[in-house]
Amino acid sequence: MKQKTNTRFLPKGLTILYEDRDILVVDKPAGLLTIATDSEKSKTAYASLMDYVKKGSDRSKNRIFIVHRLDRDTSGVLVFAKTEVAKQTLQENWDNTKKVYIAVTHGIWKLKQSSIQSYLTESKAHRVYSVDDPKLGKFSETKYKVLKESNLYSLLEIDLITGRKNQIRVHFAEKGHPIVGDIKYGTESKSFPRMALHSFSITLTHPFQKKPLTFITNIPNFITGLVGGYERKQDET
């Protein structure tokens, strides 16, 4: 049964999309880390939501558990578990979870709909890149289709088949179409307020109810504005 949100403890900048005794689904804003790093310990979605489920009580045994992550500058649907069993169940079935992203990339794509496949690995400097040898990287697949184009940019819908670190960003950059605002894998400086990548929807099987649940967010105006606006049709997933 879906729980009512107690707005008193609702973390700033995060919108609760769904909550029951097993899972907690939020709409994460760009600029907020999913979990702590060496340089940032407290200002994270995880820390804020841990406070939320504890309802301000340090003695509360309520907890949340990481199921997957979004990059700091990626906004959108983010799923947490509220029990260890729910976390394990969700992660074991994560490859069967449908994850749809929206992005704006530089340039005009020759193929308006295609699939990018490669083996991804990570350097000691934490930079992800593709390699030819399957033994040296993890298989990764990103499906995309162009929704709208302008003179400079392309708005894409992405079906994330595998969920490797920085996968979408690396695949698009290696094709010569980096995501707008991507400083790490693109060639630009900080000329945009954020990166144009958004976790638009996730469809998963509830870990215990075993029913499919779909969570959808609004596409940020910054992203659609790059191509002069875009309105999704009702029959689009």
The residues annotated as belonging to the active site are: 71
Cα Rg, the chain, nearest whole Å: 18
- Report how far residue 208's alpha carbon sits from residue 38's, in angstroms, rounded to the nearest whole number: 35
Cα separation, 169 vs 197, whole angstroms:
9
DSSP state of 94: G
Place of tokens 């009512």: 4
Judge whether 139 and 117 are in contact, CB under 8 Å: yes
The per-residue b/e assignment along 91-109, b for 16 or more CB within 10 angstroms, e otherwise, is: beeeeebebbbbbbbbeeb
Hey, is 48 helix, strand or coil?
Answer: helix
- Helix, strand and coil percent figures for the chain, each rounded to 5: 15, 35, 50
Phi (first) and psi of residue 172, to 5 degrees:
-70, -40
* Dist. CA 121–CA 17, nearest whole Å: 33
